[in-house]
Amino acid sequence: MNLKEQLTIYKKMTQLEPREAEIHKIVSRSEEIFFQAELKEQLSYHEFLWAQLRVIQKRWWLLQFLLLLVLWAVLAEGYEAQYVQRGMGIMASLFVILIIPELWKNRSNQSMEIEAVSYYSLRQVYAARMLLFGVTDIVLVAVFCQAVSVGLHVELTELVVQFLLPLSVTSCICFGTLCSKRYFSEASAIALCVVWSAVWMCIILNENVYEKVAFPVWLGLLGLASACLAAMVYRTLKYCNNYVEASFDRMEVG
């Protein structure tokens, strides 16, 4: 017997015949073990955050981006630059108004009761949505400020006064009305932001007021608005789970 024949015989002897039924059994058993292991585990916070990201309608972010793009284009035109720059406050309010439908989504769809009794409660749902909107909006606003400051040579002081200050105040109104002790619908929150926007325009277009307020004062006001915003976010997260108590006037004692 030569080596070739010996190798053929050896190959036949060591050849394994896979049994399909056994393979299926092992696959099925592995799936079952995996499922049992998954059953014992809870969804991690970053997975929960990812699930929330998937739920948020991205069209609002697209609209926010388009709004900043339009503002950039108008500023680039340079037509009556002084007044256009002062009009940035309206766009800042609109920018915030665009997140209201998503933040009010569970409220307007009456989904809060089910979310409040889940493992990740309403507080965590709001925290996740605020985090996602916060991060995205900070990135969008930072890119916009960079673009108009470097590309269009709009002074940073102008951006702080004309854009960031009204943006912060509108955000304060938005988070102040969400989960406040008095019930505010989506429409009333938007209306309050629009009223603020009109008030802001009256202030900013009045030369007597605008010229008299020094930049450090505007900066101080921005600091105050930011602190107020942080307090509103904290209050929203603290009290959102008590919304049933807060909305008793509207609910039926069944």
Partner 1 sequence: MELEFKDLTKNFGGFTAVDHINLVMTNGVYGLLGVNGAGKTTLMRMLCTLLLPTSGTITYNGKNIFKMDGEYRKRLGYLPQEFGFYPEFTVQDYLLYIASIKGIRPAVARKRVKQLVAKVGLSKAADKKMKKLSGGMKRRAGVAQAMLNDPEILVLDEPTAGLDPNERIRFRNLISELSEERLVLLSTHIVSDIEYIANEIWLMKDGTLMHKGTADEIINSMPEQVWQCFVDKNMVSEYMKKYKISNMKAEPQGVELRIIAKERPSENARSTQASLEDVFLYYFGEKAGGEDVAI
Rounded distance between C-alpha atoms, residue 51 and residue 178, angstroms: 22
Choose the stretch contacting partner 1; rule: CB under 8 A; options: 92-100, 114-122, 146-154, 221-229. 114-122
Q: Is residue 82 part of the contact set for partner 1 (CB under 8 A)? A: no
Interaction mask 127-166, partner 1, x per CB under 8 A: ----------------------------------------
CB of 165 to partner 1, least distance (A): 35
Q: Which amino acid is at 235?
A: R
Phi (first) and psi of residue 94, to 5 degrees = -60, -40
**Binding residue (CB under 8 A) for partner 1 from 9, 62, 117, 205:** 117
Q: Is residue 30 part of the contact set for partner 1 (CB under 8 A)? A: no
Rounded distance between C-alpha atoms, residue 186 and residue 200, angstroms: 21
Find the Cα–Cα–Cα–Cα dihedral 199, 201, 207, 213, rounded to 10°.
70
Q: Is residue 32 part of the contact set for partner 1 (CB under 8 A)? A: no
- 93 within 8 A of 64, measured Cβ to Cβ: no
Interaction mask 214-253, partner 1, x per CB under 8 A: ----------------------------x-xx--x---xx
Phi (first) and psi of residue 102, to 5 degrees = -75, -40
Q: Is residue 34 part of the contact set for partner 1 (CB under 8 A)? A: yes
Greatest CA separation found in the chain? 112
